[in-house]
């Protein structure tokens, strides 16, 4: 166990930043650290009146919001286990997950609750509360009808605020995640995993008290929760929360207004900006000529760097990208212009971080160095050159899958090493290079390992391509391509012309990959690929 206590991080942040802004819904309500603390104590009083015990499960379904965050902090600091569930699941699935978690309280958005079948209201629940108002939505106990409003906290001051002593050994989170294989698993994370992730971020990521950030990743997912909520809150930052699934346009608008000090994002956002802003500038004749002249090239790159930085608010110390591989083409260009970015690697089962490096030391094509409090090994005869499965062990690692000992035993060895299912290499200074998922790796005609993710990353940055999936048919690689509707509509591209564009794209792609990884044909997808709630493509549906 790490010596830093997770609940103490929350308590100290509230006390040290009492009058400062803590959580703000973009264009909505706002709470200071003091107001967050007082609501936490009110909820604790309510939990006591309801007979909630330490270790009881409290489910939470809703989009990101300040109140969502306060519910999370209230549950874990009481000693309960929070069960954050992505709202993207269907109503029946949400109810099944709540039942599976053994939750005794549910917080849910009103509009999602309205879709639930009345006769199928979850049987173990004492009460269902609204995320937006904390009001009672459903209960069979009349004494709970208005219970939150009955709980008042008097005379709470900065010097007299404290939270219960909750050890790091306590189960903090059950995180339900839908993987690309279609299975749904409840990842059990101790307070220790959260504390270890927060500790590493505090020591290695560039934020300090009073800094502003914009949160756009889902809190119900480990990446967004750890690094856009728990870590910045622990420091005393002001977190502005995008309460709806943000389009790149809305995200950029928020960045421009808030001017965040740190930005966390996924490759999709970065790559879309690269395609829409950078590529059109680079193909201009004047710019092409200038980049070929050494004395002018630096000037051009500095201007592009400034323009790109201004698009993200102009005040950030670094951009951290995670969740999926970043296109090699985009990475190479970012390195050329000295853009302040790095790519991290993690998974929900590690709460989530496995590797990360500050942008100044970040190596091209990598996912950073193995973090403190974790060990990583590559199961390969030559871990530096031959990809093998990445295995991890240490403080971040989950204790298992909830009520699924068989699957837990499959993924975690007796000596504590956990299978990630990812393939990669690692150099002598423990920098990790991801090659793809072991389940998605394809074999070439002569037994070569083919990593679809790498091919897709190149194709996705080509003209009129929104996203793609590489599959194998009759021992040949085929690209399934979903067109970029915005480009198609703006340029009025006909179906015939789209086929010509994609044919050229495939030709260009095949010049960039080894002969054994070349794509023989393509197929246009009429509808967007079916995805998990975490926005991963369900590949198994297209094999």
Identify whether residues 197 and 294 lie together within a single domain. Answer: no
183 has pLDDT over 60 = no
Identify whether residues 10 and 77 lie together within a single domain. Answer: yes
- What's the full length of the chain, in residues? 543
Q: Mean pLDDT over residues 437-447, rounded?
A: 70
Pairwise CA distance, residues 206 & 201, whole Å: 8
Q: Mean pLDDT over residues 126-143, rounded?
A: 94
436 has pLDDT over 90 = no
Average pLDDT over the chain, rounded to an integer: 91
Pairwise CA distance, residues 517 & 523, whole Å: 17
What pLDDT shows up at residue 531?
82
What pLDDT shows up at residue 179?
39
What pLDDT shows up at residue 463?
93
344 closest CA partner among 224, 168, 213, 189 = 224
Peptide bond into 352 cis (omega under 30): yes
Q: Is 119 within a domain?
A: yes
What pLDDT shows up at residue 527?
93
Identify whether residues 369 and 271 lie together within a single domain. Answer: yes
What pLDDT shows up at residue 446?
54
Q: Each residue of 455-465: pLDDT tens digit?
A: 998 999 899 99
What pLDDT shows up at residue 428?
96
Identify whether residues 122 and 235 lie together within a single domain. Answer: yes
- Rounded to the nearest angstrom, the gap between the alpha carbon of residue 76 and the centroid of all alpha carbons in its chain is 20
What pLDDT shows up at residue 182?
44
Q: Is 375 within a domain?
A: yes
188 closest CA partner among 178, 175, 198 = 175
Longest Cα separation, the chain = 77
Q: Is 257 within a domain?
A: no
331 closest CA partner among 345, 318, 321, 316 = 321
157 has pLDDT over 60 = yes
Q: Each residue of 202-228: pLDDT tens digit?
A: 999 999 999 999 998 889 989 999 999
DSSP annotation of 137 reads E
Identify whether residues 433 and 449 lie together within a single domain. Answer: no
What is the pLDDT confidence band of residue 445, given thresholds at 50, 70 and 90? low
CA atoms within 13 A on the CB side of 362: 29
Identify whether residues 181 and 328 lie together within a single domain. Answer: no
Q: Is 247 within a domain?
A: no
Identify whether residues 482 and 389 lie together within a single domain. Answer: no
The domain total for the chain is 3
Domain that includes residue 478, residue range: 442-541
Q: Mean pLDDT over residues 268-288, rounded?
A: 82
Q: Is 251 within a domain?
A: no
133 has pLDDT over 80 = yes
């Amino acid at each position: 166990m790490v010596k830093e206590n997770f609940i103490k991080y929350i308590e100290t942040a509230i006390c040290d930043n009492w009058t400062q802004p803590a959580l703000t819904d973009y264009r909505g309500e706002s709470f200071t650290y003091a107001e967050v603390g007082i609501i936490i104590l009110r909820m604790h009083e309510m939990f006591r009146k309801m007979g909630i015990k330490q270790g009881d499960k409290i489910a939470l379904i809703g989009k990101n919001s300040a109140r969502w965050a306060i519910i999370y902090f209230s549950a874990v600091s009481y000693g309960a286990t929070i069960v954050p569930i992505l709202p993207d699941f269907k109503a029946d699935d949400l109810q099944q997950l709540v039942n599976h978690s053994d939750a005794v309280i549910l917080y849910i958005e009103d509009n999602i609750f309205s879709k639930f079948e009345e006769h199928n209201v979850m049987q173990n629940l004492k009460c269902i509360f609204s995320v937006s108002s904390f009001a009672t939505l459903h209960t069979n106990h009349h004494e709970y009808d208005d219970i939150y409003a009955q709980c008042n906290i008097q005379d709470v001051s900065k010097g007299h605020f404290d939270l219960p002593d909750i050890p790091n050994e306590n189960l903090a989170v059950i995180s339900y995640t839908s993987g690309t294989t279609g299975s749904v698993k409840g990842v059990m994370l101790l307070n220790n995993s959260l504390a270890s992730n927060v500790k590493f971020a505090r020591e290695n990521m560039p934020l300090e008290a009073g800094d502003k950030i914009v949160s756009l990743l889902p809190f119900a997912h480990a990446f967004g929760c750890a690094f856009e909520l728990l870590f910045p809150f622990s420091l005393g930052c002001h977190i502005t929360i995008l309460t709806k699934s943000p389009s790149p346009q809305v995200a950029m608008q928020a960045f421009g207004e808030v001017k965040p000090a740190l930005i966390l994002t996924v490759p999709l956002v970065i790559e879309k900006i690269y395609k829409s802003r950078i590529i059109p500038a680079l193909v201009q004749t004047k710019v092409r000529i200038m980049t070929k002249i050494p004395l002018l090239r630096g000037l051009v790159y500095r201007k592009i760097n400034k323009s790109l930085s201004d698009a993200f608010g102009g005040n950030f110390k670094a951009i951290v990208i995670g969740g999926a591989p970043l296109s090699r083409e985009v990475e190479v260009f970012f390195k050329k212009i000295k853009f302040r970015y790095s790519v991290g690697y993690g998974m929900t089962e590690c709460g989530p971080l496995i590797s990360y490096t500050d942008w100044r030391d970040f190596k091209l094509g990598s996912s950073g160095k193995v973090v403190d409090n974790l060990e990583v090994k590559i199961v390969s005869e030559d871990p530096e050159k031959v990809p093998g499965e990445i295995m991890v062990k240490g403080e971040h690692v989950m204790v298992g899958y909830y009520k699924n000992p068989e699957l837990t035993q499959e993924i975690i060895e007796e000596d504590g090493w956990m299978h990630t299912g990812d393939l990669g290499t690692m150099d002598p200074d423990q920098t990790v290079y991801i090659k793809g998922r072991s389940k998605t790796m394809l074999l070439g005609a002569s037994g070569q390992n083919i990593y679809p993710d790498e091919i897709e990353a190149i194709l996705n940055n080509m003209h009129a391509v929104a996203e793609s999936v590489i599959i194998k048919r009759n021992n040949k690689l085929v690209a399934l391509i979903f067109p970029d509707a915005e480009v198609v509509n703006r340029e009025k591209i006909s179906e015939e012309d789209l086929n010509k564009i994609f044919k050229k794209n495939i030709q260009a792609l095949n010049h960039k990959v080894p002969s054994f990884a070349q794509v023989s044909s393509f197929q246009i997808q009429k509808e967007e690929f079916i995805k998990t709630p975490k926005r991963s493509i369900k590949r198994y549906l297209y094999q």
